[in-house]
Amino acid sequence: MKRILIIGAGGQIGSELTLHLRKIYGDANVVATDVRESQALAESGPFETLDALNPAAMASVVERHRIDSIFNLVALLSAVGERNPQLAWNVNIGALMNSLEVARQYNCALFTPSSIGAFGNNAPKYKTPQDTIMQPSTIYGVCKVTGELLGNYYAHKYGLDTRSIRFPGIISNMTLPGGGTTDYAVEIYYEALKNKHYTCAIPKDVYMDMIYMPDVLKACVDLMEADPSKLVHRNSFNIASMSFTPEIIAAEIRKHIPDFTLDYNVDPVKEEIARGWPDMLDDSCAREEWGWNPEWNLSRMTEDMLSVLSQRLGVAKTE
Ligand code: SER
């Protein structure tokens, strides 16, 4: 049985991945850590506060809990990163370097998310290949490309089992993302239910890859369980499941809330970031090397998001 450490467990991915991994590997075998206390995570298994920028504290958790697999989920997202690039580099790369070093010292497997944000304007926009030019123009993207290179370097130099996925914008109904360029695709569901109206910061014609959280959880487990002899790539895999513009997601919401309206107040920083990212990734390597196969599309996700959130918010889904 694996002994897993999650760093940044209170964030958008971590808050659901922790519970998912606890179901699979047993509550006691998944140690959640975050810089902030979390009662929800402490209720279902071991939880410790941990500053991911403190290498001695990270090593101590790994040693005390006899950890063999680490998920490092610490990151400032793209839009917030542009407001303080130095902080974004220090947090994103600091947490990653500490994770790599602790993984090396204690011989742990290491999972780190990369992102569609690792690509920039010079990569092909449509069916962006697995292996292509990577020249991001955000500090977030620079950190992600650096992380991919460092993961491969530690695998090559030290034989470390590093694995990673380039995630699309993640849509979930539990924990909100914070400071990302793709956040609109989560906010739009809340606002549609609460106000039947949303003002979008992303221009109406911009396509970005998106993914629903259940597919994120499945991808993390499937990649970490994959037979290493089948992995030609490690850091990092393109995955894709849906790609849409604000107009397309709004039309889908209108199938359930017919009087939902959308207008735009475009944020120039987010617009530049979004236009620099791929429209749609080619995920054939993930499909071939570890059997990636998404289960959710835009219409099923919209139905599920609206039904879960309408119950939680106590508002009716339809007229
Ligand atoms: N969702 C992230 C962001 O928008 C991209 O990985 O920053």
pLDDT tens digits in sequence order for the chain, 319 residues long:
899 999 999 999 999 999 999 999 999 999 999 999 999 999 999 999 999 999 999 999 999 999 999 999 999 999 999 999 999 999 999 999 999 999 999 999 999 999 999 999 999 999 999 999 999 999 999 999 999 999 999 999 999 999 999 999 999 999 888 899 999 999 999 999 999 999 999 999 999 999 999 999 999 999 999 999 999 999 999 999 999 999 999 999 999 999 999 999 999 999 999 999 999 999 999 999 999 999 999 999 999 999 999 999 998 766 5
Which token pair is 262?
Answer: 């959308």
Q: From the CA of 58, how far away is ligand 1's center (Å)?
A: 26
Q: What is the pLDDT of residue 317?
A: 66
Atom in ligand 1 nearest the alpha carbon of residue 170: 1
| For ligand 1, mutation pick of 83, 91, 114, 116 (most atoms within 8 Å of CB) | 116
CB neighbour list of residue 126: distance below 8 Å, 6 or more residues apart: 278, 279, 280
Q: What is the pLDDT of residue 4?
A: 98
Please give the angle made by the CA atoms of 310, 314 and 318, to the nearest 5 degrees. Answer: 50
Ligand 1 lined by 181 (C-beta under 6 Å): yes
Place of tokens 């998001």: 305
Catalytic residue status for 106: no
Q: What is the pLDDT of residue 45?
A: 97
Give 280's strand partners: 126
Taking the C-alpha atoms of residue 67 and residue 53, their distance in angstroms, rounded to an integer, is 18
| For ligand 1, mutation pick of 182, 209, 273, 277 (most atoms within 8 Å of CB) | 182
Ligand 1 lined by 236 (C-beta under 6 Å): no
State the DSSP H helix or E strand holding residue 246, giving kind and residue range, or none if neither.
Answer: helix 246-254
CA-to-CA dists, residue 154 to 101, 103, 161, 166, angstroms: 9, 10, 8, 18
Atom in ligand 1 nearest the alpha carbon of residue 79: 7
Taking the C-alpha atoms of residue 33 and residue 50, their distance in angstroms, rounded to an integer, is 6
Atom in ligand 1 nearest the alpha carbon of residue 182: 4
Taking the C-alpha atoms of residue 288 and residue 246, their distance in angstroms, rounded to an integer, is 31
As a dihedral over the C-alpha atoms of residue 284, residue 216, residue 96, residue 226, rounded to 10 degrees, the angle is: -60
Atom in ligand 1 nearest the alpha carbon of residue 183: 4
Q: From the CA of 230, how far away is ligand 1's center (Å)?
A: 29
Ligand 1 lined by 114 (C-beta under 6 Å): no
**Cα atoms found within 13 Å of the Cα of residue 269, Cβ hemisphere only:** 12
